[in-house]
Structure 1
Amino acid sequence: MRAFVPNAVTILALCFGLTGARFAIIGNWEKAVAAIIIAGVLDGLDGRIARLLKGASRFGAELDSLSDVIAFGVAPAIIIYQWALHGLGGVGWVVALAHAVCCALRLARFNAQLDMENQPHKQAGFLTGVPSPVGAGLTLSPIFLDKWLETDFFGEPVVAGLIVATTAFLMVSNLPTFSWKSVKLRRSMRLPVLLLVGLFAASLYSAPWGTLSLLSIGYALTILFSVRSYGRLLRQRQAEAAARASAADATTTMPTAPKPDAATGADDAV
């Protein structure tokens, strides 16, 4: 049962993702987006439930990746194609496929690196590229922005296609991005953060399109800060390594005082 519960949550995430695609086919965009959001929430819970119940397994990890490909790769591609990219004809379908393929490639790279110890980004507390649930949100951001601003600009196939193509690139890129696991809250900050969570939930309910739009824009901006932060951390580590190497060389090449000759020592004693 310890392994069954988190795997069941993963299956639910997969089902909600495909349900989002179904709603897109019939043109119900609100429910399509809601289904993807629920799938993202469930995806964030299954791993934590597995660790809490001590039911983590390699089977669960593989199932989670397969679920993510469908819920955050295939389903968003179908949704955004039905919403805007179909206006580009075959090119629009290629762009939609690019999102699904890049999501699959990202997850395959993640699985291949599970047993690797040398992962600079992970060791520094960063992720490599944009996570697939966030990638799904960025791909669907033209819908958020269009509904929020009540304009047809982001519904233009070319504009939506550029956003989707950029998101696909970010998922498979080597850019360092912030990881929630590296965030540490001080005890004094817990209550303010809980307040922010409550306000976010209220705004998501009362103004969902504006909240999702600002969230997508905010995350896109954090990529710039994460690249800068990782570069600064990398330079700091390189400087520390150079200082340690210099200190080691100085210790190795330091001249030692010559030992006195036995006879000289005896004369000095006399």
Structure 2
Amino acid sequence: MNGPGQGRDKLVRLPRGLTVRTLVPNAITAAALGFGLTGIRFAITGQFEQAVLAVLLAGLLDGIDGRIARLLKGQSRFGAELDSLADNVSFGVAPALILFLWSLQDLPRLGWFASLVFAICCALRLARFNARIDVEEQPHKSAGFLTGVPAPVGAGLALLPMFLWFVTERPELREPAVVGIWLVAIAFLMISSVATLGWGKLRPRRGIRLWLVMALGMIGVALLTEPWLTLIGICVIYLALLPYGIWSYSQVRRRRATTAAPEQPSA
């Protein structure tokens, strides 16, 4: 028979639970998920402004949870999976249902199809991101670009017709056909291979950094005083920068191809 010491040596040590460092960013991610679900609840009761604000708050929390995890050195595989699941609800399912209840339900079949396309494309984008998370060779990422439109940005762009409607209340902005086409277009941008600008690509020169800080402060004030007009402006600027991102990455590819090309032997 094995002695007590031998029996203990054969025990499998179970993994430890979440540490305090990983608990904080995961709690923020869970809060973002709660905001996304609450946005659906507001949409069901017809409180569309509150529904949109809940999704925007989820986006704000999603923007800081990863940075706090890196600051606390609390990154974990659990946190990465939780973040993707929360993003799928807050930026895929929630905007799709909010837009359906706001406009698309007037065309039940085609409207529901557009909502499904957006929610599924968001899930596919997040699945692609998770599949590449351990891949070292990522041309877009190594150059400071993203592949396709990120899920939080896609949610904001999808809600652009609502931002415009909150300001103008023009009935054509609520037309199901218009909203459905817009929603499907943004869905395809999310799963596309288009190179989009990422934070790593934004490296302002020293001479304008103070001006940039002032501009960001003014944007924060504008979001509090005129949230819908400010969000419209942010969406328009982002869409205008899409062609620049494509052109800029083509320049990077051209430089890489020139560097990697073997030198031609002299005659």
In the superposition, the TM-score normalised over structure 2's length comes to: 0.89
User: By how many angstroms is 1:150 displaced?
Assistant: 2.9
Q: How does 1:161-172 map to 2 (within 5 A)?
A: 161-172=180-191
Given the alignment of the two structures, is residue 77 of structure 1 paired with residue 96 of structure 2, yes or no? Answer: yes
User: For 2:137, what is the secondary structure of its paired residue?
Assistant: coil
CA contact (8 A) 1:148 1:213 kept: no
Residue 26 (structure 2) aligns with: 7
Residue 37 (structure 2) aligns with: 18
Can you list the C-alpha shifts for 1:112-144, whole angstroms capped at 9, x where unaligned? 001112211111111000000001001111100
Given the alignment of the two structures, is residue 203 of structure 1 paired with residue 222 of structure 2, yes or no? Answer: yes
In the superposition, the TM-score normalised over structure 1's length comes to: 0.89
User: By how many angstroms is 1:213 displaced?
Assistant: 1.1
Q: How does 1:1-270 map to 2 (within 5 A)?
A: 1-242=20-261, 245-246=262-263, 249-250=265-266
2:208 and 2:27 map into 1 onto residues whose CA distance is 33
Query: Which stretch of structure 1 is more off in the superposition, 161-170 or 227-236?
Result: 227-236
1:53 and 1:182 map into 2 onto residues whose CA distance is 24
1:142 and 1:216 map into 2 onto residues whose CA distance is 11
CA contact (8 A) 1:73 1:101 kept: yes
CA contact (8 A) 1:76 1:139 kept: yes
Query: Which stretch of structure 1 is more off in the superposition, 197-206 or 59-68?
Result: 197-206
Query: Which stretch of structure 1 is more off in the superposition, 179-188 or 195-204?
Result: 179-188
1:237 and 1:49 map into 2 onto residues whose CA distance is 34
Can you list the C-alpha shifts for 1:191-219, whole angstroms capped at 9, x where unaligned? 21221112111211221111111111111
User: By how many angstroms is 1:74 displaced?
Assistant: 0.6
Can you list the C-alpha shifts for 1:209-258, whole angstroms capped at 9, x where unaligned? 1111111111111111101111122112212322xx115x45xxx8xxxx
CA contact (8 A) 1:175 1:227 kept: yes
1:237 and 1:14 map into 2 onto residues whose CA distance is 40
Residue ranges of structure 2 left out of the alignment (5+ in a row): 1-19
Residue 261 (structure 1) aligns with: none
Residue ranges of structure 1 left out of the alignment (5+ in a row): 255-270
Which protein shows a greater Rg?
1
Read off the aligned partner of 2:263 and give its amino acid letter. Answer: S
**Count of residue pairs brought into register by the alignment:** 248
Can you list the C-alpha shifts for 1:69-120, whole angstroms capped at 9, x where unaligned? 0110111111010111111111101100111100000000000001112211
CA RMSD of aligned residues (A): 1.3
